[in-house]
Amino acid sequence: MDQNMFVTVLLVLVTLCAWVGNGEERQEAQRHGHVSVVIVGGTGDLAKKYLWQGFFQLYVNQVSSGNTFSFYGGGLSPAVNGTPVLFEILKVVSCQNKVSPERCALLKEQFLRLSQYRQLKTLEDYQDLKNHIEKQLQEEGMKEAGRLFYLSVPAFAYADIADKINNSCRPTIGAWLRVVLEKPFGHDLRSAQILASQLGSSLKDEEMYRIDHYLGKQVVAKILQFRIENKKFLDPIWNKHHIERVEIVLKETLDVKGRIPFYDQYGVIRDVLQNHLTEVMALLTMSLPLKLSNDKEVLQNKLKVFSSLLPLGNSQAVVGQYQAYKSEVQQELNKTKDHISLTPTYAAVLMHIDELQYEGVPILLISGKMLDERVGYARILFKNDIFCLANHKAVHCKPKQIVFHFGHGTLQYPAILVSKNLFKPVLMDNEWKEVMEHTDVSVAGLPISDYYVHTPTEQHDAYTELISHIYAGRSNSFISTENLLASWEIWTPLLSSLSTTFPRIYPGGDNNGVLLDVHLKGRDISYNSEVVIISPDQIRGTSVNNFQVMQGKFRSTDMISAWTEELVERLAADIQEAAEAAIRESGVFHLALSGGSTPLALFHRLALNHFSFPWRNTHVWMVDERCVPLTELESNFYTLHDHLLQHVRIPYYNIHPMPVLLNQRLCVEEDGGAQLYEKEINKLVNGSSFHFVLLGVGYDGHTASLFPGSKVTEPEKSLVALTESPVKPHQRMSLTFSAINRAQKVALLVMGKGKHELITQLSRVKDNPDKWPVTGVKPVNGRLVWYLDYDALLG
Q: Which residues have C-beta within 8 Å of that of residue 637, sequence separation ≥ 6? A: 622, 625, 630, 657, 658
Residue pair 99/60 in contact by the 8 Å Cβ criterion:
yes
Q: How far apart are CA 24 and CA 17, in angstroms?
A: 13
| Residue 519 designated active-site | no
Residue pair 50/216 in contact by the 8 Å Cβ criterion:
no
Residue 184, preceding peptide bond in cis (omega within 30° of 0): yes
Residue pair 782/745 in contact by the 8 Å Cβ criterion:
yes
Distance from CA of residue 461 to its chain's centroid? 26
Amino acid at 116: Q
The size of the chain, in residues, is: 795
Q: How far apart are CA 444 and CA 377, in angstroms?
A: 9
Which has the closest alpha carbon to 489: 189, 191, 186, 192?
A: 189
Q: Which of 34, 213, 276, 756 is catalytic?
A: 276
H-run or E-run covering 640: helix 636-643
Q: In 286-388, where does DSSP find H-type helix?
A: 295-308, 325-332
Q: Which residues have C-beta within 8 Å of that of residue 73, sequence separation ≥ 6? A: 39, 42, 43, 47, 52, 82, 86, 89, 115, 116, 117, 118
Query: What beta strand segments (E) does 152-201 contain?
Result: 176-182
Residue pair 35/68 in contact by the 8 Å Cβ criterion:
yes
C-alpha angle 534-537-542 in degrees, rounded to nearest 5: 60
C-alpha angle 103-109-115 in degrees, rounded to nearest 5: 135
Q: Give SS3 for 512.
A: helix
Burial (0-12, 13-18, 19+ Cβ within 10 Å), 391 = exposed
Cα atoms in the 13 Å half-sphere on the side-chain side of 207: 21
Residue pair 373/409 in contact by the 8 Å Cβ criterion:
yes
Q: How far is CA 712 from CA 309, 623, 674, 716, 724, in A?
A: 55, 15, 11, 8, 8
Burial (0-12, 13-18, 19+ Cβ within 10 Å), 330 = middle
Q: Which residues have C-beta within 8 Å of that of residue 38, sequence separation ≥ 6? A: 72, 74, 120, 129, 147, 148, 149, 150
Residue 729, preceding peptide bond in cis (omega within 30° of 0): yes
Q: Give SS3 for 416.
A: strand
Dihedral angle of Cα 158, 162, 164, 167, to the nearest 10 degrees: -160
- Tally Cβ neighbours within 10 Å of residue 575: 24
- Tally Cβ neighbours within 10 Å of residue 702: 21
What letter would DSSP give residue 132? H
Burial (0-12, 13-18, 19+ Cβ within 10 Å), 112 = middle
H-run or E-run covering 523: none
422 phi and psi, to 5 degrees? -100, -75
Q: How far apart are CA 742 and CA 682, in angstroms?
A: 12
Q: Which residues have C-beta within 8 Å of that of residue 279, sequence separation ≥ 6? A: 212, 214, 215, 220, 479
Distance from CA of residue 674 to its chain's centroid? 49
**Catalytic residue positions?**
276
